Amino acid sequence: MLSIENIEVVYDEVIYAVKGVSVKVPDGQIVTLLGPNGAGKTSILRAMSGILKSREGEITGGNIFLDGQSIAGHPPEKVRRAGIYLIPEGGGLFEDLTVEENLRLGLLHSRGDQADGLGKAWEWFPVLQQRAWVRAGYLSGGEQQMLALARALLARPKVLMLDEPSLGLAPLIVDELFGFIRKINEEEGISILLIEQNARRALAIASYGYIMENGKIVLDAPAGELLQDKEVKEFYLGFGQGSKRRSYRDVKHYKRTKRWLS
Residue 4 vs residues 18, 31, 32, 41, 87: alpha-carbon distances, Å: 12, 13, 14, 13, 18
Which listed residue (2, 4, 17, 146) binds ligand ATP by CB under 6 A? 17
- Which x/- pattern, by CB under 6 A, does the window 196-235 give for ligand ATP? -x--------------------------------------
**Nearest residue (CB) to ligand ATP, 21 versus 66:** 21
Task: Supply angle C-alpha 32, 205, 136, rounded to 5.
Answer: 80
Q: Are 146 and 140 in contact (CB under 8 A)?
A: no
Nearest distance from C-beta of residue 203 to Mg ion, angstroms: 18
Which listed residue (15, 175, 183, 186) binds ligand ATP by CB under 6 A? 15
Nearest distance from C-beta of residue 195 to Mg ion, angstroms: 7
Residues 47-66 binding ligand ATP (CB under 6 A) are: 55-57
DSSP line for 54-104: GGTEEEEEEEEEETTEE-TT--HHHHHHHTEEEE-TT----TTSBHHHHHH
Nearest distance from C-beta of residue 233 to Mg ion, angstroms: 24
Q: Does 249 bind ligand ATP (CB under 6 A)?
A: no
Which listed residue (13, 14, 37, 69) binds ligand ATP by CB under 6 A? 37
Residue 141 vs residues 5, 89, 108, 165, 166: alpha-carbon distances, Å: 34, 12, 24, 10, 9
Size of the site for ligand ATP (CB under 6 A): 16
Binding residues for ligand ATP, per CB under 6 A?
11-12, 15, 17, 35, 37-43, 55-57, 197
